Amino acid sequence: MGEGIPVEPTPAFIEALGDMESVTLDDTGREIQRAKGTTMMGHPLNVLLWLVEHVGAQGQRLQAGDVLSLGAIGTFHSTEAGRTIAVRYTGLPGGDSEAVVTFR
């Protein structure tokens, strides 16, 4: 799990969420995919609304301080043991971030 991205309650941040881009690279530096935030149900905040409704339908509520993952941007790809994949997120206030995973 990587560093969280704090949400800013501003129109600029909301727009940046839809415009953000993820770039997935394999361990040779080859780009596997590139996708915008809008691939997540039209906008990442739509995923949040879905989560609120889904949790509510189970008789539960999200609580202040809950850590949420809104899912993957783009499509899934297969990989093999020993491979390392990096995903770079660009376009959000506060600068770019990256998550790296090595599969066993």
> What's the pTM?
0.77
Q: For the chain, what's the residue count? A: 104
Query: In angstroms, rounded to a whole number, what is the distance separating the alpha carbons of residues 95 and 65?
Result: 23
Query: In angstroms, rounded to a whole number, what is the distance separating the alpha carbons of residues 8 and 93?
Result: 9
Tell me if 18 is assigned to some domain.
Answer: yes
Tell me if 1 is assigned to some domain.
Answer: no
For each of the chain's 104 residues, which pLDDT tens digit applies? 566 777 888 999 999 999 999 999 999 999 999 999 999 999 999 999 999 999 999 999 999 888 888 877 888 888 889 999 999 989 988 888 888 999 99
Tell me if 3 is assigned to some domain.
Answer: no
| CA separation, residue 37 to residues 66, 83, 87, 101, 102 (Å) | 21, 25, 13, 21, 24
Report how many domains make up the chain. 1
Tell me if 26 is assigned to some domain.
Answer: yes
Domain membership of residue 69 as a residue range: 11-102
